Amino acid sequence: MDIVVFSAKPYDRQFLDAANADHGHRIRYLDDPLNTDTAGLAAGHRGVCIFVNDEANEAVLDVLARGGTQLIALRCTGYNNVDLKAAAARGIKVVRVVDYSPNSVAEHAVALLMAINRKVHRAYNRTRDFNFALDGLMGFDLCGKTVAVIGTGKIGRVFARIMAGFGCNVIGYDAYPSAEFEALGGRYAPVEEVGANADIVSLHCPLTPQTYHIIGTDMLARAKRGALLINTSRGGLVDTEAAIEALKSGQLGGLAIDVYEQEADVFFRDLSGTIVNDDVLQRLMTFPNVIVTGHQAFLTREAVSTICETTLRSITEFETGQALTNEISAG
């Protein structure tokens, strides 16, 4: 089956090619993201494979449908960038990667937490200049602290288990409570309590109309002063400008993010030699108690291998007329 892969990075090519040895699809790789300007490049391909910041809105889907596309394969879990109703109306099936490695994202969240708490990023920069002074590098013990996990799905539960291992008190918030989370020693609480009592808040929920800017001015005002906020889920969960104000006032003690609500214009590319025209991100990066990584939480050998194998298996199911195991319906 002819597939065009948008936003293809070197690791995508490496792992998709390896997985494709068992499937034999004809894959065309494009560095460009999928959007209204590039959708025409998919003409003649029955399937397109896209990532988190590619656009599959109604206008893009119109172009894809006219070009003969019948399948969109997301090589990720989230699908908020796809208009599912518009896809269904045009006869385009949509599949995603339901599960890859929850450990990869949860462990990266822990890495960000440890780095922002113990000022590892600042220490690294100092010691590179042979500055071994310790002033300004003090953190706190995680043992005994309260950690709020917003979203207790597979990734949130792995993160909670790790935090419990540190000796933390773990509280959670989720519209769909998990007995497994409670078995780990976690306790569910209203979102107000989660914000007010937590020394650390880590986000692991999907981006929906209900969770958009779940961390905003009101939530930050109710938060425990000096709390740390970690986001490895979706950028739109955090109102970045509200977070900046909370950082300026000291209400928020630190912020570590792997996702950003306007990341589509900057992430997954080298902009080190350019002027980045994003004033909000520029302001955010000036804070010494902020760490930003470029949506790399998923980037482990195990996770990428599973993502690519699952994606190609879904494409093969479509090509051979099988039921689509990982299909997303318009609901």
3-state SS class at 56:
strand
As given in the structure block, the two tokens for residue 105 are: 């994202």
3-state SS class at 306:
helix
Hunting for tokens 């600042």 — which residue is that? Answer: 122
Contact 107, 162 (CB under 8 A): yes
Residues of the chain by 3-state class (helix, strand, coil), percent to 5 = 40, 15, 45
The residues annotated as belonging to the active site are 234, 263, 295
Angle between helices 102-118 and 120-128 (to 10 degrees): 60
Radius of gyration of the chain (CA): 21
Q: How far apart are CA 125 and CA 186, in angstroms?
A: 36
Angle between helices 102-118 and 154-165 (to 10 degrees): 50
Q: How far apart are CA 105 and CA 51, in angstroms?
A: 16
CB atoms within 10 A of CB 95: 25
Contact 78, 312 (CB under 8 A): no
Determine the residue type at 303. A
Determine the residue type at 6. F
Q: Is 190 exposed, middle or buried (0-12, 13-18, 19+ CB in 10 A)?
A: exposed
Angle at 258 (CA atoms; ends 255, 260), nearest 5 degrees: 85
CB atoms within 10 A of CB 24: 10
